Amino acid sequence: MQIRFYHARILTMEDGKDIFQGEVWTGDDKIIFVGSTEEAAVKLAENTIVFDEEIDCEGNLLMPGFKNAHTHSGMTLLRSFADDLPLAEWLNNRVFPIEAQMTATDIYELSKLAVLEYLTSGITAVFDMYLTPESIADAFDDMGMRCVQVGAVNNFSQSPELVEEMYLKLNAKSPLQSYMLGFHAEYTCSKELLEKIAKLAQKYQAPVFTHLAETQAEVDGCVERYGKTPLAFLDSLGMFDYGGGGYHCVYMSEEDIRIMKDKGLFAVSNPASNLKLASGIAPISAFLEAGVPVALGTDGPASNNCLDMFREMFLVTALAKVREADASAVDAMEVLKMATVNGALAMGLKEADVLAKGKLADMILLDLNQPNMQPLNHIAKNIVYSGSKQNVKMTMIAGKILYRDGEFKTADMPQDIYQKANDIIGRFK
Amino acid sequence: MQIRFYHARILTMEDGKDIFQGEVWTGDDKIIFVGSTEEAAVKLAENTIVFDEEIDCEGNLLMPGFKNAHTHSGMTLLRSFADDLPLAEWLNNRVFPIEAQMTATDIYELSKLAVLEYLTSGITAVFDMYLTPESIADAFDDMGMRCVQVGAVNNFSQSPELVEEMYLKLNAKSPLQSYMLGFHAEYTCSKELLEKIAKLAQKYQAPVFTHLAETQAEVDGCVERYGKTPLAFLDSLGMFDYGGGGYHCVYMSEEDIRIMKDKGLFAVSNPASNLKLASGIAPISAFLEAGVPVALGTDGPASNNCLDMFREMFLVTALAKVREADASAVDAMEVLKMATVNGALAMGLKEADVLAKGKLADMILLDLNQPNMQPLNHIAKNIVYSGSKQNVKMTMIAGKILYRDGEFKTADMPQDIYQKANDIIGRFK
């Protein structure tokens, strides 16, 4: 399957490369050509290439798909189920009792609902942490979407043995699925359990990801337990000797940020969730100053409540501006890098970071012919400060167009998926 | 022109009324019927009503259009023109020099671009403060959109005499246009000028609106000049004896909030702009506790940068949650009231607040058959926490459908409007 995209503006996200007018060609799951209109014309004259489809982009923008670097897809069930409640009541009295009853099949269906939403937001890969890794991988495979799962083990569910089993099994499952070492959070895991995960990190020389310093209470608790911040404590176990990173990273000391930099860790920021759950505002400017790469994630739909990278992109810079009392904090291009390149690198998707020959054909087309994208003073700033799901004209994953002009090209139809989600929540009411 | 909307979910926004399944009928610019499916069936059997169009809403949600209670529409020109700069540099070196060169015709064209964007976000009326009131009124009239303008006078442009002239002229211009007394801000107006506006308020027994307490520096400056906060000082001039309110209202003392309540003033919050310009987070919970009505606005596209009420709705509650460290702060239904009823009342649009017989047919249809609106645990919370422009299926103003399924039904075509905006910015580059 070879597809030609022409009359496009192209933002490859390669360092220092400006937007240019040209073409992108895909062959199977890879990009086989990226170049200017002139370069494309030369190549077309030289070769007899048979395209299965030729798409006139009408001046709209091709760029790498967004990487949602922290989510819990199966929590679509609990969207708007228990909002506007104090955090402890929300979690203990509403979320946990329902989650305890959810089956692997439920989570399979609910993950599919999340995939539909990811596609509408131009998200081509997610970093997912949830309860039933195998049924989640099946859901993403069946929908044709790329998913990197991460271990979710804590004292109450899963085990280090399961994490290792999934690490071996899901990394061999399909080109679209992968799995990274991880655990839920310091405060939900015993020291013994954490030591076992750290041993896996050493054994496989692999990075580890976890919820990290999401609330002040979490940090205070760890200091009380171990005399160290969560990051310093986990690092002292050898957890991050092969990299990895933390989700949220709201309450970070200078020493924490130094460890992040030294170990090459990623700070995955989740600004909407951190507001909605009243957690706080992360020190993004401090990460950037220290050279710590920042990626972006939506967190789960029960705490956000939507799976929209445009919201996260606006918030990560707008909140940095108000936190630092500096309207010049965190430039728009830096934000686009967080949402694409940095996310891909955090998730181990080294072939999904930029648009270039040989890279994965995980790509989106953004509609610039909408009032919120006009005038064309600065396209990158338009996307970050003014962009919306409404601008996503197409989402392609592994060379397949899964969403285009508001229509889903997935195997399952949206109405069936919605019906199943409503049936599941009906069982619990 | 009579239109029947059937198979709808309906949120009238009347106090205490839940969402129900039913029909809304419009006749010319008014709503002529709102009722349940059963009530509609009875009425259809009784009467021989000839509809010009019957629209199957397929279970989607009809509700009052959003009221954007603070904007500067003509600033579309400066969207993404000078972001990521310190505030003073942005304003003095980039925004003001361009604004000084803009003609009434430029602002006419640029306001039309804003109208297109308002329609995509389900906004049916705006509260606009900008430079050339007559050309702005023409633009909104020509696009078929409701606009309440407010006096923008300051020491450098316009005059109290022009404010009075526009008050008389634009309130008589057309059913879609109106004009309220106002001035730019305390810090840009001499005491003499402010006294003249206060006299107009007394003469016409009319409310007055202005930028108020947007930054700490603004408050400090006023205290230095007059020994009072901006609100206390303006109130001491008799400015608010007939109501009105302030835009932004970020830095408000307890005494300020007491004055707001006593004078029946509206606090118009602009959360996205307050973040992006590093101004701060407004005390929304304190307003609600004191019984001060809060409305919502996008502010202008140069400072936001988009004109999207979904962004403002999410932010006004999410920022209150993080400001108060309380995830239960500001319930979703309260937010919908801010974005509809309160905005309408602030803007003097008493007939555009709710869906009911005899009210203005300013109404939107929100698409619930999208992944971000599923499952249907709580529709109001879905809209506030998860909603997006992508969910706006239709925007109707004064009984006319101006936007439907992504297509504009306005007199001017989007491409022509985009072209003119790009031509204008081209002149200044």
> Is it the case that residue A145 has pLDDT exceeding 90?
yes
Query: B421 and A375 in contact by Cβ < 8 A?
Result: yes
Domain membership of residue B351 (yes or no) is no
Q: Do B275 and A321 touch (CB under 8 A)?
A: yes
Is A78 in Cβ contact with B421 (below 8 Å)?
Answer: no
Q: What is the spatial distance between Cα A115 and Cα A123, in angstroms, rounded to a whole number?
A: 9
B107 and B9 co-located in one domain: no
Please state, in angstroms and rounded to a whole number, the distance separating the CA atoms of residues B231 and B13.
Answer: 31
Contact, A276 vs B318, CB < 8 A?
A: yes
In the predicted model, residues of chain B with pLDDT beneath 70 are none
Q: Within 10 Å of residue A122's Cβ, how many Cβ atoms? A: 30
CA atoms of B132 and B143, how far apart (whole Å): 17
Between chain A and chain B, the number of residue pairs with CB atoms below 8 A apart is: 225
Q: Which domain holds residue B10?
A: 2-64+360-408
Q: Minimal Cα–Cα distance from A178 to chain B, Å?
A: 25
Q: How many residues in total does chain A contain?
A: 429
CB contact under 8 A, B306 and A372: yes
Tens digits of residue pLDDT in A264-285: 999 999 999 999 999 999 999 9
Domain termination residue (choose one: B295, B322, B346) = B346
Residue to mutate among B386, B405, B412, B413, with most A CBs inside 10 A, is B386
Instruction: Please report which residue ranges of B271-339 form alpha helices under DSSP H.
Output: 271-276, 284-290, 309-324, 332-337
Instruction: Pick the last residue of a domain from A328, A346, A364.
Output: A346
What CA–CA distance (Å, rounded) separates A79 from A302? 4
Give me the pLDDT at residue A84, please: 86
Nearest CA in chain B to A114: B371
Residue in A335, A354, A340, A387 with CA at minimum distance from that of residue A24 = A354
d(CA B174, CA B413): 23
Q: What SS3 class is residue A306? A: coil
Tell me: do B76 and B158 sit in the same domain.
yes
Helix (H, G, I), strand (E, B) or coil at B68: strand
Contact list in B for residue A376 (CB cut-off 8 A) is 422
Q: Using CA atoms in the order B120, B122, B123, B124, what is the torsion angle rounded to 10 degrees?
A: 110
Instruction: Using alpha carbons, select from A58, A49, A63 the residue that is nearest to residue A2.
Output: A49
Tell me the nearest-neighbour CA distance from B310 into chain A, angstroms.
Answer: 10
Angstrom distance (rounded) from CA B398 to CA A120: 31
Both A342 and A357 in one domain: the answer is no
Beta carbons of A388 and B388 less than 8 Å apart: yes
Band (A162; pLDDT cuts 50, 70, 90):
very high
Nearest CB to A84; choose among B81, B308, B331: B331
Residues A334 and A373 in one domain: no
Chain B positions in Cβ-Cβ contact with residue A307 (cut-off 8 Å): 372
The DSSP bridge pattern shows strands A2-10 and A61-64 to be parallel
Q: Which residues of B touch A377 (CB under 8 A)?
A: 78-81, 425
Decide if B79 and A382 are in contact by the 8 Å CB cutoff: yes
Domain contains A422 = no
Question: DSSP 3-state helix, strand, coil percentages of chain A (rounded to 5)?
Answer: 45, 20, 35
What distance in Å separates the CA atoms of residue B373 and residue A183, rounded to the nearest whole number? 30
Please tell me whether residues B176 and B314 are part of one structural domain.
yes
Any domain includes A416: no
Please report the ipTM that was assigned to this predicted complex. Answer: 0.97
Q: Are residues B110 and B59 in the same domain?
A: no
Contacts with A106 from chain B: Cβ below 8 Å: none
What pLDDT, in 10s, does the model give residues B225-259? Answer: 999 999 999 999 999 999 999 999 999 999 999 99
Question: In which residue are the tokens 């309380």 written?
Answer: B326
Facing residue for B327 by CB, picked from A276, A281, A315:
A276
Nearest by CB to residue B306, choosing from A85, A375, A386, is A386
Residue A179 within any structural domain of the chain: yes
Question: Is there a domain that residue B173 lies in?
Answer: yes
**DSSP three-state, residue A321:** helix
pLDDT for position A214: 96
Q: Among residues A322, A346, A370, which one ends one of the domains?
A: A346
Subunit contact B276:A321, Cβ cutoff 8 A = yes
Q: Which residues of chain B neighbour A114 with C-beta distances below 8 Å?
A: 371
Residue A121 tokens, joined = 């937001």
Which backbone phi and psi does A426 adopt, to 5 degrees? -60, -35
Same domain, yes or no, for A161 and A28? no
Q: Nearest CB to B332: which of A83, A375, A425?
A: A83
Judge: A325–B375 Cβ closer than 8 Å, yes or no.
no
A108 vs chain B: nearest CA distance in angstroms? 15
CB-CB under 8 Å, A306 with B386: yes
pLDDT at res. A85: 82
Contact B239, B201 (CB under 8 A): yes
Find the CB nearest B326 among A278, A418, A425: A278
Regarding whether A367 and A335 lie in a shared domain, the answer is no
Average pLDDT over residues A30-35: 98
* % of chain A residues with pLDDT over 70: 100
Within 8 A of B320 by CB-CB distance, chain A residues are: none
pLDDT above 90 (res A94): no
A186-238 confidence digits (pLDDT tens): 999 999 999 999 999 999 999 999 999 999 999 999 999 999 999 999 999 99
* Single-letter amino acid code for the residue at B318: A
Q: Strand, helix or coil at A267?
A: strand
B273 to chain A: closest CA residue: A318
| Confidence (pLDDT) at A339 | 98
Whether A415 is covered by a domain: the verdict is no
- The verdict on residue A194 lying in a domain is yes
Average pLDDT, chain A: 96
| CB pair distance less than 8 Å for B319 and A275 | yes
Are residues A287 and A301 part of one domain? yes
Q: Please tell me the distance from the alpha carbon of residue B179 to that of residue B128, in angstroms, as a whole number.
A: 9
Whether B324 and A278 lie within 8 Å, measured CB to CB: yes
Confidence category of residue A378, pLDDT binned at 50, 70, 90? very high
From CA B22, how far away is CA A411, in angstroms rounded?
Answer: 33
- Other C-beta atoms closer than 10 Å to the C-beta of A409 total 14
pLDDT at B429: 74
Name the closest residue on chain B to residue A216, using Cα atoms. Answer: B325
Specify whether A239 is located in the same domain as A293.
yes
CA distance A326 to chain B (A): 6
Is there a single domain that holds both residue A304 and residue A373? no
What CATH number corresponds to the domain at position B23? Answer: 2.30.40.10
Contact A365, A58 (CB under 8 A): no
**Interchain pair B305, A385: CB under 8 A:** yes
A377 with B86: Cβ contact below 8 A: no
Count up the domains in chain B and report the number.
2
- Quick check: A298 pLDDT over 90? yes
Which of A276, A331, A389 lies closest to B321 in CB terms?
A276
- Chain B CA closest to residue A375: B422
Question: Which of A331, A379, A418 faces B374 most closely, judged by CB atoms?
Answer: A418
Answer whether residue A389 shows pLDDT above 80.
yes
Q: Which of B80, B381, B406 sits opposite A83 (nearest CB)?
A: B381
pTM assigned to the model: 0.98
Q: What is the CATH number of the domain that holds B330?
A: 3.20.20.140
Would you tell me how many other CB atoms lie within 10 Å of the CB of residue B419?
14
A105 domain residue, yes or no: yes
Do residues B88 and B180 both lie within one domain?
yes
**Rounded distance, CA A335 to CA A313, Å?**
6
A375 and B328 within 8 Å at the Cβ level: the answer is: no
DSSP-assigned states of every residue in B344-396: HHHTT-TTSSS--TTSB--EEEE--SSGGG-S-S-HHHIIIII--GGGEEEEE
